[in-house]
Amino acid sequence: MELPLNLGKTACEYLQDLKRNLEMAQHYAKEHDEKAQGRYVARYNLRAREKSFQIGDKVLILTPDSTSSKFFSRWVGPAVIKDKVSAHSYLVDMDGAVKHLHADKLRKYHINVEEISCDTISAGQINTKVNHCAIIHEEDQDFGDIGILNTPNPDRTELLPSQRNDMESFSSF
């Protein structure tokens, strides 16, 4: 190894200085990397929610589309949680096929009703027409505080038999 000219040092002194400078640079890089990592974690945790599912829960599965972009992925399902492998890993049954999936690829399945027809509901001075509804469970935190409007039970004699069955299945929740 050739040393730069006119250093005024021996080769041993030059290498010791170089080693000391590299150690300082490594320490500086490690310190700043840890700070940056802490900022990334804090920013991620602002919106991240702990996901956990129970055996028998219905879930949706995030599946990639034919493109390589994550923006074209879609949620398919419902599927059923069959077993909990670890804290964030589940065996999920989708149409008879059991898959081992991470909780990040799962979302709770909420029953969504296409449309419920009803008379106009009066709530104070505001009249509201119900165009659709979904069932929100008490333990779901995604929606914040939701007010509940108590309405009288609809007269089921006006419903078709299939509509009565649907209403009875929804009232069991």
Within a domain: residue 84?
yes
Clarify whether residues 73 and 92 are in a common domain. yes
Mean pLDDT of 68-80: 78
Within a domain: residue 2?
no
Query: Beta-carbon neighbour count of residue 2 at 10 Å?
Result: 5
3-state secondary structure the chain: CCCCCCCCCCHHHHHHHHHHHHHHHHHHHHHHHHHHHHHHHHHHHHHCCCCCCCCCCEEEEEECCCCCCHHHCEEEEEEEEEEEEECCEEEEEECCEEEEEEHHHEEECCCEECCCCCCCEEECCEEECCCCEECCCCCCCCCCCCCCCCCCCCCHHHCCHHHHHHHHHHHCC
Domain encompassing residue 70: 58-108
For the chain, how many structural domains are there in total? Answer: 3
Q: Does the predicted model carry a pTM greater than 0.85?
A: no
Question: Is the pLDDT score of 121 beyond 80?
Answer: no
Q: What is the pLDDT of residues 39-50, one digit of tens each?
A: 999 998 888 778
Mean pLDDT of 26-41: 95
Clarify whether residues 92 and 44 are in a common domain. no
